[in-house]
A and B are shown apart, each in its own frame.
Chain A
Amino acid sequence: MLGGVFHAAVLFLVAAGLQLVFGVQKILNLACGSFYALGAYAGVSAVSFTLAAGAPPAVFPAVLVGAGLALALVGPVVERLLRTIYDRDESFQLLLTFALVLMFEDVIRFVWGSAPHQLGNVYLVYGQLRVGGLVIPVYNLVVIAAAGVIAALMGGMLTRTRFGRIVRATAENRRMAEALGVDVSRVYVRVFTLGVALGTVGGALVIPATAAVNEMGIDLIVEAFAVVVIGGLGSMRGAVAGALIVGIMRAVAVATYPEVEMLAIYVVVIAVLVLRPAGLFAKAAA
């Protein structure tokens, strides 16, 4: 179960980026998985550098989050490119963002090479927690907690801050927001960069537990879309619920009947599409 929650935590961060960008900008961003992969590679580089400098393990999560946030600077550049398709058909969005997926794959290959990158024993330095007969890696709990904190901050930001109100207003009615004096172009840049940051931070945070592989984002795109379909497109609460459902469904399937690991997720997706086509939290605001 906890393995499922760990996966859900990572999935939430990627899906939340997808949700936010779609909720406000109406862009179906396939490149969300690429930002996750970029964050993972940046995380490896940052922690390797910090290790070489002799920093203690306690700073690694901060270094990883920092690396993820730093990499979010690609957000404004990519957003500038996306401006050309805001008012065009959705197929252009899919084509352009898919092209970005392929381009980022080559960028990764060019910068980091084709071999997987990993962080030796960083995952293990935080130790293990024994609960009953169960051994839980403490780092998994760190990732789950970090995702929880990010979800809470996102929720707080959207509902309690001025910027959050502007974002919600823009998501609700872009023209009205513009008429009321909101600089929508600036909001779009900020929202997109925030969406990118969720992906890059997710990738960076997960890296001690796994390895950075060029295609690691591709599978996650598919799963993030499953999360979005289950939770409801554009809904942040939906992203949390969808990620938990997908993560836990996978874990339960692996533990009980491994053959249906992927099938189980799509059975839920189909059920949601048939019974509640707009998703579980469709009516919630972004």
Chain B
Amino acid sequence: MITNRRTFIKVLAGAAAGTGARLDVAPALAQAAPVRIGVLAAKAGVTAPVGESGLRGTQFAVDRINAAGGIAGRKVEMVVEEESNPKDTVERFRKLALQTKADVITGGISTAVGLALGPVSEELKALWLAWDATTQKGVEETIPKPRYAFRSVDNEAEAVMASILTARQLKGKVKTVAGINNDYSYGRDNWAAFLAIMKKFGMNVTPVVELWPKLGETNFTSHVAALQQAKPDLVFSSFWSGDAPILMKQAHAAGLTQGTKFVLTTAGGVHESMKKAFTPEGAIMGYNSMYFEAPNASPLLREFSKWHQERFKEWPNYESDHAYFTVVAYKAAVEKASKAAGSKWPTTEQAVEALEGIEVDSLSGRRSYRSDHIMECSYFQGVTTHKNRHDFVTIDPVEVMSTKQIQKPSGTGLYDWINSWNV
């Protein structure tokens, strides 16, 4: 019982000594404690399905890793926080890094969030493996040479691939083009890349209308009317969320899909919503880094697709692959660094060094991190078809391009790189 001030101080001192003793053994205990993976996943709004998809990929990776004995013998534990606006997400990132003491933090879809998380990751020296959210501003300005942040593929890569396919398939067949893209850096950068590549390939196309609905818009009747009025031969859109099927539904109802070609760089991200009833055959459509029905799908992708379909009654989309990759890349890096350090758990710095250049099997095939902390993988796009067992469109033939072909090399500006092509 604490009877006076002196006794109280003695008790406090004893407690402090006890804490000290526990701290002394902490590194030893840490070897047996689970590895904590902090996950930032969007759960609301237009990014919610993508966040959910990333979460599923992470869960699949963690389950497999734990079933096989964990990372360097330690079980893996997920601590999930929500990705929302940049300010709140930065606070949750800090919480994961400082309070939860996550060994690694994965996630991030929104460009604005990605731009905010990069500098915080560097400041806290907290390892962050982004799923997405890598625009030119992040690559070239805000986090040009990150140490602790590992970024996704340049967001424009899908526009670059879709533009190359457009040039290959439609040269001489289209004279006028229209763009309908979200009014933020991703949408604007994609449209600019498309026009630059059209010029590079000598397509001689004239942009007749450029439309910039805000992200989250759910009514495109006015935009469709503007497209009808402009009568373009081709409509280019980088919509990637619930807005892609709404646009196609309203465009089809207004007769716009008859005679007008569509290029949908990223609609594969919501592929189950792209119903045959309103999505025409013959459109160029992209699936980003993973196509669930890839003709040469690996046993791993087949296993994941089956797991996903059985559990969620849906076919998976690409964000699962980005998320899966971040977890297995971290595992491979830690085990590589641990081996080099004589079976000791590596420091964050050692894990960072091991991650640079690491190459692993992901759901979509081999994937890696470049030394400038940007992902390399393959992209899947093709021409939409109704000839399948689903009520939504798929692609046939499937074109596969490596990001080595469609992503600018380290240290180069996007447009300098495009202009340097020999076509």
Contact = CB atoms under 8 A, between A and B. Distances in A.
Contacts, number: 127
Contact of B216 (A7, A206, A215, A251): A215
B278 A124 contact: yes
A100 B211 CA distance: 34
A114 B210 contact: no
B252 interface: yes
B200 interface: no
A211 B46 CA distance: 11
Interface in B20-72: 43-46, 48-49, 51-52
B226 A255 contact: yes
A175 interface: no
B219 A211 contact: no
Contacts of B216: 213, 215-216, 219
A120 B391 contact: yes
Contact of B48 (A2, A114, A259): A114
A266 to B, nearest CB: 14
Contacts of A219: 214, 216-217
Interface residues of A, number: 41
A35 B160 CA distance: 41
Contacts of A75: none
B52 A124 contact: no
Contacts of A118: 242, 245-246, 249, 273
B203 interface: no
B222 A109 contact: no
B275 A105 contact: no
A209 B226 contact: no
Contact of A134 (B45, B228, B253): B228
A123 B45 contact: no
B246 A124 contact: no
A245 B51 CA distance: 37
Nearest to A134: B228
A216 B48 CA distance: 13
Contacts of B277: 120-121, 124
Nearest to B212: A258
B400 interface: no
Interface stretch (A24-32, A135-143, A164-172): A135-143
Nearest to A2: B225
Contacts of A211: 218, 242, 245-246, 273
A258 B48 CA distance: 27
B221 A140 contact: yes
Nearest to B211: A258
B252 A124 contact: yes
Given A7-B222, A213-B45, A258-B211, A136 B254 contact: yes
B229 interface: yes
B222 A121 contact: no
Given A115-B52, A210-B246, A215-B44, A3 B225 contact: yes
Interface string A194-228: 00000000000010011101111001000000000
B222 A255 contact: yes
Contacts of B46: 116, 213, 215
15 contacts: A2-B225, A105-B44, A118-B246, A118-B249, A120-B391, A124-B249, A128-B254, A210-B249, A210-B250, A211-B218, A211-B246, A213-B218, A214-B48, A250-B222, A254-B211
Given A2-B225, A211-B273, 14 more contacts: A2-B221, A3-B221, A109-B44, A114-B44, A123-B253, A135-B256, A211-B245, A213-B45, A215-B216, A219-B214, A219-B216, A219-B217, A251-B221, A258-B209
